Chains A and B, each alone.
Chain A
């Protein structure tokens, strides 16, 4: 089972994402931003970081990288893709997911151990969770406010496409406290929190992140 992890200039959590992939027994394949080549992987992680320094807008330049030429059609065709933090921003800029991410409402970078509610366990990346399960995942960003117009928000809610919601106080002003969403098909998931930092006892607030990757292994196996 091969899971690709894309590295853009400025990607930071690509190494951690690769570690998470290996932790569940899959092979981590490094995908270079400059190559329009997915190297035959069965799923892709767009990792966190500051691709292109967050210039112009977070993810705005990365979405035009050659690797996205290969990724976009593959994702539209059903390839499981997860966008974490900056990766979520790239997915929104690419219009693979609706909405956009703006500056945290309190205007500071914030790194906290965040409680989330898993609202949709039918996606490729969340099948291992129970519906309504509360998990603790690292949240660390400056531009994590999820926004979209009312029509889009209502549709996401109505179609059950809100995958994760912040529990407790809204940490960044995200509309409807949305932490992560999915596409209609459920193969593309984007979220601001970082599951790859929650896979090893003692190095993160929980090991809840492992389930993301074990879930996708199941999805890949039955693909």
Chain B
């Protein structure tokens, strides 16, 4: 079976209080090289067989209709999950 990965992020102009909280916490743990953090969502969709262009088009459609709220979010990436970034 194949997987489609979809990344959704808040639009840059939208306030991200959770990202801000993480950004504040990192230096306390010694990570002081990062100047900003924004938090988003990653969806993993499973299909039978290999991932096709049709799957990708459908996934993008689903992302825009349900997985993201276009008023405040952008679908930043819709792609096939490849072996290089395979998960357990």
Contact = CB atoms under 8 A, between A and B. Distances in A.
CB atoms of A and B under 8 A apart anywhere in the complex? yes
Interface of A: 56-57, 60, 64, 92-93, 98-100, 102-107, 145, 147-149, 173
Interface residues of B, number: 12
A56 B18 CA distance: 16
Nearest to A92: B71
A103 B66 contact: no
Contact of B71 (A100, A103, A104, A107): A100
Contact of B17 (A56, A60, A99, A173): A173
Contacts, number: 37
Given A56-B66, A60-B66, A148 B71 contact: yes
Contacts of A92: 71
A99 B71 CA distance: 6
Nearest to B41: A56
A57 B69 contact: yes
Given A60-B66, A173-B15, A102 B21 contact: no
A105 B15 CA distance: 8
A74 B55 CA distance: 35
Interface string B9-39: 0100111011001000000000000000000
Given A102-B15, A105-B17, A60 B69 contact: yes
B47 interface: no
B72 interface: yes
A107 B17 contact: yes
